[in-house]
Amino acid sequence: MASSLISRRFALSLQKNLWIGAPACRYISKAAPKTQVEFDYDGPSMKTSVPGPRSQELLKQLGDIQNVAAINFFCNYEESRGNYLVDVDNNRMLDIYTQISSIPIGYNHPALLKLMANSNNLSTLVNRPALGILPPENFPDKLTESLLSVAPSGMTRVQTMACGSCSNENAYKAMFIWYRNKERGHNTPSDEDISTCMINQTPGCPDLSILSFMGAFHGRTLGCLATTHSKAIHKLDVPSFDWPIAPFPRLQYPLEEFTRENAQEEARCLEEVEDLIVKWRQKGRPVAGIVIEPIQAEGGDNHASPDFFRSLRNIARKHGCAFHVDEVQTGGGTTGKFWAHEHWGMDDPADIVSFSKKLLTGGYYHKDELQADKPYRIFNTWMGDPTKNLLLVEVLNVIRRENLLEEVTRSGKALLNGLYELQAQYPAILSRARGQGTFCAIDVCDDATRTNILLKARDKGVLLGGCGDRSIRFRPSLVFKEYHVHIFLNIFNDVLAQLK
């Protein structure tokens, strides 16, 4: 099946000039020369409103099986390619949301189809091992080729996992284990530690905490939910822990006009972090670790300056807390650097860096001292998936070969400049355009208007996502060119003009 699919893809690429494209674009700013992506379509093409009749049929069918309230529409992944997602009603949309920021190099990239069609990879595809006990022969080499080739500064160890939530959950466990061993001065638990942990009592289950930030999103498992503070629906009715929550800076835009105010805001938040660490130590729940996103994504694309993060790193060192940088959504190149924390300019940015989404597999990098001291302490059945490491090797090859981080920087500049122009043109609707690379966002006047914009844009062939209370976030793949930026800006302008 994979062989026939790739052959079909290459045949279609040879017929590119025969594809039915979108009408000529009306650029709101100077257009970049059109740069074709080998496996891309020429533009959106809409046949129905979304969801169309076939999607509605499938929604009803699936609704008899599970909750479908979050489903937007059903997709035809075989016909999707490049920056375009095709649905089951044959609507073709420019995808600037990419499965919640998890598609690295577009749909059905020829390099990945070729990899899957290689018969030498069949065993990896068919047999999913329990990696913690029975890894395949090539697993060390594949980790070296993939994840370790892009390891954050100062880190040579990586623990694979299956998703972002389990990556963070196990990273939290690693921080707690490290902290307790540091308190003991050795890694041998007492008889009392062993007996009390079985009944959820101290000292075996110690009263330790992790400091997180208001607006953060770190996942939906139980420990991660205790550090997630973006939407009530994520946390409602689920028991949680008494862990400290610090304010995240709320910057004013444009940044250059509010330098003093933003510096004061960041200083206020840092002071509160230190106060909380001291307060929780006095409560008998010392802070074992601090977890933070380089950009709060789900919480509303909230940014802070490199100075803020450098100061926070120093506070963690001062108080003996592990420093965990959650790059689940920001990692993989979307900010113009492979890791968003690289923008901080630090040689020793973190003790733990977690990842998932655009890296296709989950996991976390860590310092040597955060290595689990005994087997089965950081463990589950799958511990990741070798097929995703196989794909990631080729994704990284494409990123390097096609200089995609430079492409992201160019496209991101065009996107952000376009958003600046639109918010100047529609000041009653849009504000606070911001971003790094193509990891951009803009605020809408209210939630109802945002929803209206997202739905109208989708019916015109552009797929976007929301975040925070009233922001629209942009999460294209790394093959999103300046040409695609201008297609989007024209359609977005048309939607805004209708609202005005």
Enzyme catalytic residues: 217, 326, 357, 381
Query: What are the phi and psi torsion angles at 35 (to 5°)?
Result: -110, 110
Alpha-carbon span 302 to 286, nearest angstrom: 27
Alpha-carbon span 266 to 471, nearest angstrom: 21
Check if the beta carbon of residue 112 is closer than 8 Å to that of residue 395: yes
Residue 27's CB is within 10 A of a number of other CB atoms, namely: 16
Q: Which of 165, 130, 178, 224 is nearest to 355 (CA)?
A: 165
Q: Which helix (H) or strand (E) holds 114?
A: helix 110-117
Alpha-carbon span 364 to 387, nearest angstrom: 18
Instruction: Provide DSSP, 429-442.
Output: TEEEEEEETTEEEE
Listed in order, strand segments (DSSP E) in 91-242 are 92-95, 157-161, 209-213
Q: Do β-strands 287-292 and 322-326 pair in parallel, antiparallel, or remain unpaired?
A: parallel
C-alpha dist (Å) from residue 88 to 46, 96, 456: 12, 19, 19
Q: Enumerate the β-bridge partners of residue 251.
A: none
- 91's CB contacts (< 8 A; 6+ apart) are 45, 46, 47, 48, 50, 52, 461
